[in-house]
Amino acid sequence: MEAFEKELQESKSKDANADDDEDVPDGEHLNDIDEAELGDDVFDRNEAPTGVDQGTEPWLGSDRDYTYQELLTRFYVSLHASNPSLLTSTGKRYTIAPPSIHREGNKKSIFANISDICKRMHRQPEHVIQYLFAELGTTGSVDGSGRLVIKGRFQQKQIENVLRRYIGKCHDTVNAPTGLI
């Protein structure tokens, strides 16, 4: 055990001598670097998005109860600051393929792509078909291949106008498209 303690003492004395002789890195050389050489500070973050909590809002520095209008304004300012694409009034537009209308004989029209259009509008085909029949003042049926057979002679433009009205009336429901193109 004495040999181990003696060896330990010798290594400690060597370390003490080495500390006096060598330069220990302390980061002091980093203080001499010019800030302009480093460029933009990538770690500098603004805590609030632009337009939010910049010091002029009534809710800062107060513990009072806020009015609904103040909270609503704060919400919309924060929403638009973090999602600038919402500021455009156009929103997302849906495009739907034009209705494919074919004649079958003299007194029937075939609406071939009714199922595709209903899927794009996120609507049940039965509901759209009922609306079409009510607006066109006619009847019809769906054949085996999913095409709508309409009694009467209708042109593509007429069916398209009815679909536009349908979309206009149903725009307030979930996932409703805003227009046909």
Residue 112 lies in a domain: yes
Report pLDDT for 74.
Answer: 85
Write out the residue range of the structural domain in which residue 107 sits: 101-169
Residue 147 lies in a domain: yes
What confidence tens digit (pLDDT) does each residue in 108-128 have?
999 999 999 999 888 999 999
Per-position DSSP letters for 118-160, written without gaps between them: HHHHT--HHHHHHHHHHHHT--EEE-TTS-EEEES---HHHHH
Rounded to an integer, the average pLDDT of 132-154 is 92
What confidence tens digit (pLDDT) does each residue in 12-65 have?
776 666 555 554 444 455 556 666 655 555 445 455 445 555 666 666 667 778
Count how many domains the chain has: 1
User: Which band of pLDDT confidence, cut at 50, 70 and 90, is reported for residue 178?
Assistant: very low
Mean pLDDT of the chain: 75
Least confident of 75-79, 89-93, 119-123, 154-158: 89-93
Residue 37 lies in a domain: no
Q: What are phi and psi of 29, to 5 degrees?
A: -70, -20
Residue 20 lies in a domain: no
Residue 177 lies in a domain: no
Report pLDDT for 177.
Answer: 47
Question: Which CATH number do you get for residue 121?
Answer: 3.30.70.3150
User: Which band of pLDDT confidence, cut at 50, 70 and 90, is reported for residue 176?
Assistant: very low
Residue 57 lies in a domain: no
The CA distance from 154 to 136, in Å, is 9
